[in-house]
Amino acid sequence: MCGIVGFTGTRQAAPVLLDGLKRLEYRGYDSAGIAVADGDRINIAKVKGFVQNLADMTHDGGDIGGAVGVGHTRWATHGAPNDVNAHPHMSSDGRFAVVHNGIIENYAPLRQELTKKGYVFLSDTDTEVVAALLETYYDGDAKRAVMKTAARLEGSYSLGVVCLDGTGRLFAMREQSPLILGLGVGENYFASDVAALVPHTKNVIYLDDGEFAELTPESITVYDVRGRAVEKPVSRVTWDVEAAEKGGYEHFMLKEIMEQPACFKATVEPRIRNGRVEFEDFHLTDEELGRIRRIVITACGSAGYAGQVGRYVIEELCRIPVSVELASELRYRNPIIDEHTLLIVVSQSGETADTIAALKECKSRGAKTLAIVNVVGSTIAKLADHVIYTWAGPEIAVATTKGYTTQVAVLDMLAVYLADRLGKIEREKYDRLVLALLDMPGKIQRAIDLNRNIKKLAKKASAHNQIYFIGRNMDYAVCMEGALKLKEISYIFAEAYAAGELKHGTIALLEQGSLVVTLACYEPLLEKTMSNIEEVKARGAQVLAVAQEGNRQILKKADDFILVPRTEELFTPIAQIVPLQLFAYYVAKERGCDIDKPKNLAKSVTVE
């Protein structure tokens, strides 16, 4: 969703801000803008549409002088996506320009109060009240105005403020929305996402909720709510700028699919020491472990579907009841959660609003909480009692691929780890599963190599308006992610059905030529899946089977097939999803879709 950048230094700020905004484009947005303080005025340029429009309008920033500024990509919440509602928003006295991510929940009463006092608003946004409050509270001390303004705001926000008081000062404020400070030499930065900082610096400070920072070219000072300076640790970003660039691939999604063997390895290998699974930040005492009666996994979208796979594996190995709950439902459901629950939240971004709310709700009910997160220092990582990072590196394409497979990797490892701690797994099986996990990067690569013909299958499928995905047990869990991948980037209606449910309604939809992607890798139920293939074929449907190498029975029955290497049964979903990601990618390409930035979607859904 929205993105924020800020820069203060001695060189021209506008090109730096535009470069930062380009690196945040992947988050999804509908307008872009920058504000730069230059002498006795703040210059603003903003426009509906792409950052490139803004770059064209300002001759790549060359038209905008000044060395201190903020930039923004907006994903509309309050007010239509147009030039006026685009950020930055300036106070009417021209002293402050503000960019904002999140929602100011009490903006309506604030706007009313300020209007009564004679303030004239120009936009429909909630953000403009921040600029108005800053103006109202300014008495010659910008820091005091920032503090007083923050005290009036309710909701979630990260704010970037450029202030015209001749000192070249920027302010950055955080409340439940990420903001990271970047430390340079003779210049400093902030951004809502590390991706905009890495071209300049790898030394960063993660702001916490309620904190705000004052930036000059030479210094960064962080304050708490009361304005007292706070000592903050400086963290080092572990990935390079190339990791957030396309590296010769046509799309980030394709690059990220291809990175999966390496990401899986980076996530798994360091956590296996001397043949044992060990997590650096997940230590349950025997007493804590003994208290757990059930596990609840909560997340949104693909992260939830990773949880669906995790459910099968954890239940199978640990014999603990596991349920997977949509975070957007769980948060409002008065759930039965207590100190006997282990809550696992799964999130690539660590900033998904519903997942954060569900985590808080369950924590307040006494659950022990564990987060599986990709983005270091994100809100979910900070809130949970424990965090296990997926070392997937930056994921830029809106459709997650390596994020998902590394989430499944961690859940698989966790299942093996817990089963061992609970005494539910024999040594021989434990060793076999650990070896199989170490072997998975090779299997993922094989899943890619086996399907070099997938473009042809995708071309054929791209003519369909709806595609059904069916499977049983873990195959069904993979169907959910396979269907989501296809629908979000190709805009084909795609839905996952438990194969056994077909007869209870969905089969009525099938007709001559319908396409049914049938996942048929879960061996204990293969005969049942075979019967489902017969059923759909009898109604004239075409079957595209996803089957393990050498499974002649399935290959003979299917019209087309995607091959998957044989793996340890519990880990088959990882090998299955990779060709399905490629399938979705090539279908979307065939249909001429904007693959990395599908319409209406944002990379991280930071509002409800």
Catalytic amino acids?
Answer: 2, 603
Nearer to ligand AGP, 70 or 356 (CB): 356
Contact status: 577 vs ligand AGP (CB under 6 A): no
User: CA–CA separation, 452 vs 458, rounded Å?
Assistant: 11
Nearer to ligand AGP, 17 or 346 (CB): 346
Pair of tokens at residue 283? 């230590």
User: CA–CA separation, 89 vs 162, rounded Å?
Assistant: 10
Q: Of 527-556, which residues contact ligand AGP (CB under 6 A)?
A: none
Nearer to ligand AGP, 256 or 420 (CB): 256
SS3 content of the chain, % helix, strand, coil (to 5): 40, 25, 35
As measured in angstroms, the least distance from the Cβ of 244 to ligand AGP is 16
Contact status: 349 vs ligand AGP (CB under 6 A): yes
Please say whether the beta carbons of 496 and 479 come within 8 A: yes
Nearer to ligand AGP, 267 or 302 (CB): 302
Instruction: Give φ, ψ of 474 to 5 degrees.
Output: -65, -30
Nearer to ligand AGP, 111 or 402 (CB): 402
Contact status: 576 vs ligand AGP (CB under 6 A): no
Contact status: 101 vs ligand AGP (CB under 6 A): no
Q: How many Cβ atoms sit within 10 Å of the Cβ of residue 458? A: 21
- Give, for 31, the enclosing helix (H) or strand (E): strand 31-38
Among positive and negative, which fits the CA dihedral 481, 485, 488, 491?
negative
Only segment of 451-459, 552-560, 569-577, 599-607 that touches ligand AGP (CB under 6 A): 599-607
User: CA–CA separation, 573 vs 405, rounded Å?
Assistant: 9
As measured in angstroms, the least distance from the Cβ of 202 to ligand AGP is 23
Number of residues that bind ligand AGP (CB under 6 A): 16
Contact status: 73 vs ligand AGP (CB under 6 A): no
CA distances from 164 to 93, 142, 188, 598 (A): 10, 9, 17, 38
As measured in angstroms, the least distance from the Cβ of 517 to ligand AGP is 17
From 35, 13, 16, select the one nearest 96 (Cα to Cα). Answer: 35
Residue among 17, 207, 582, 605 that touches ligand AGP (CB under 6 A): 605
The contact pattern for ligand AGP, residues 284-323, with x = CB under 6 A and - = no contact, is: ----------------xxxx--------------------
Q: How many Cβ atoms sit within 10 Å of the Cβ of residue 538? A: 10
Contact status: 355 vs ligand AGP (CB under 6 A): yes
As measured in angstroms, the least distance from the Cβ of 380 to ligand AGP is 8
Contact status: 604 vs ligand AGP (CB under 6 A): yes
Only segment of 64-72, 236-244, 392-400, 471-479 that touches ligand AGP (CB under 6 A): 392-400
CA distances from 415 to 112, 123, 422, 427, 593 (A): 54, 51, 10, 14, 38
- Applying CB under 6 A, the residues found at the interface with ligand AGP are 300-303, 347-349, 352, 355, 398-400, 488, 601, 604-605
